[in-house]
Structure 1
Amino acid sequence: MRAHYLQHVPFEGLGSIETWLHTAGYDISSTKLYAAESLPALDGIEMLIIMGGPMSVNDEEQYPWLGNEKTFIQQAIDSGIPVLGICLGAQLIASAMGAKIFANPVKEIGWFPITSVPAPII
């Protein structure tokens, strides 16, 4: 099994997702879009993960690879490949599917600890 991820900046890697993929038996490959790497053929990719980044999904003039990436994402979805988007990645999925993407008035950044609470007694 092979999972492929798209990386937009050097500091937005898989994080703990990588451990899960290895535990689940996936081989992992990547495209570093910030380094001008080419998108792969979809053959043999069984999961696509699209990571985050500080750019906007609408910044195609500044980041011309965004247009090709959206087409690639649409083709993966059309091929039935499971696709997961993190932050910018989720926006790219939405854009590839035809949604209008606009700025949130509140800035969101990063991963934060999650604390469980006891279930309520009913």
Structure 2
Amino acid sequence: MTKPILIIQHEETEGPGYIYDWATEKQMPLSVINPQKSPFPQSGFSGVIILGGMMNVCERERLPWLANEIAWVKNCIELPIPILGICLGAQILAYALEAEVRQLPQEEMGWLPIRSTTALNFNLESVFQAHSYFFEIPEGAICLAESDLCPHQAFLFSERIMGLQFHLEWSSEDIAQLFPEYFKTYGSSEKLHQQGRDFLYKILDTHFYKLDNLR
């Protein structure tokens, strides 16, 4: 039986979104835990996806569970499994890889363009951003994308660990629930959601589905 992909969900309102749809389509089991309420498993999962949250890495002393999560992620990095971090999750991954996490001079909020910095072409017009902190690139990792306000939007480490500062997993319904005033003012674009969803599926296919089938 296929081991589940472990989802680390920090906020009740920030779920897996399109990741759940992808897993259903691929018949990949998911296991979701809230690190503020549940202990971290030490085995029994085939990969890890760390979602976003309102907190940041700098609050680890105030939030003991966050310090525990960072320590647990460091252990996961040593395992031969794929790991994907999104927004806060990417910052946790970078910090666990001994990179700095810093505050931006200006937060990124809403649909904003990004640029590829390597041959891996993100081919995305705009992605949805909601963050005021960003990660430095860990030693040995590759920076994959940048934006005008944030020099590091994505990184890849050791071919199986990826961090994304932006949200490809959110649907228009998710954005409307999380940011009602923004959604009321600016709405959303099904075209941009489709582009993001397709690229997210490509990442998940490459790093989780195909690797799992090779085991």
Q: TM-score range by the shorter chain?
A: 0.7 to 0.9
More strand by share: 2
Structure 1 runs not aligned, ≥5 long: 117-122
The residue number in structure 2 matching 1:78 is 78
Give the length in aligned residue pairs: 114
| SS in structure 1 at match of 2:94 | helix
Cα distance in 1, alignment partners of residues 66 and 50 from structure 2: 12
Map 1:18-37; keep pairs closer than 5 Å: 18-34=20-36, 36-37=37-38
Q: Do the aligned partners of 2:61 and 2:67 also contact (CA within 8 Å) in 1? A: no
How many Å separate the matches in 2 of 1:24 and 1:68? 31
Query: Relative to structure 2, which stretch is displaced further, 106-115 or 13-22?
Result: 106-115
Q: Which residue of 2 aligns with 1:53?
A: 53
Residue of structure 1 in register with 2:7 after alignment: 5
Task: For residue 19 of structure 1, give the secondary structure of its aligned residue in structure 2.
Answer: helix
Distance (Å, rounded) in 1 between the aligned partners of 2:16 and 2:31: 11
2:10 and 2:53 in contact (8 A); partners too: yes
Equivalent residue letter for 2:38: E
* Identity across matched positions, percent: 34
Q: Distance in 2 between matches of 1:96 and 1:13?
A: 23
Q: Which moved more, 1:9-18 or 1:68-77?
A: 68-77
Where does structure 1 differ by over 6 angstroms across 4 or more consecutive aligned residues?
A: none
Q: Following the alignment from structure 1 to structure 2, what is the Cα–Cα distance between the partners of residues 104 and 80?
A: 33
Letter in 2 for 1:40: P
Letter in 2 for 1:32: N
TM-superposed CA distance for 1:15, in Å, is 0.5
**CA offsets, 1:78-112, max 9 Å, x none?**
11110001100000000001001111122231656
Q: What does residue 96 of structure 2 align with? A: 96
Residue 25 of structure 1: CA displacement? 2.1
**RMSD of aligned residue pairs (Cα, Å):** 1.8
Distance in 1 separating the partners of 2:21 and 2:47: 15
Instruction: Quote the Cα distance in structure 2 between the aligned partners of 1:59 and 1:103.
Output: 12
Query: TM-score, normalised on structure 2?
Result: 0.49
Structure showing the higher helix proportion among its residues:
2
Q: What stretches of structure 2 of length at least 5 have no aligned partner? A: 109-129, 131-166, 171-187, 196-215
* Bigger relative contact order (CA 8 A; separation at least 6): 1
Deviation for aligned residue 1:24: 1.8
Work out the CA distance in 2 between the residues paired with 1:67 and 1:61.
Answer: 7
Partners of 2:73 and 2:80 in 1: CA distance: 11
Equivalent-residue separation in structure 1 for 2:85 and 2:76 (angstroms): 13
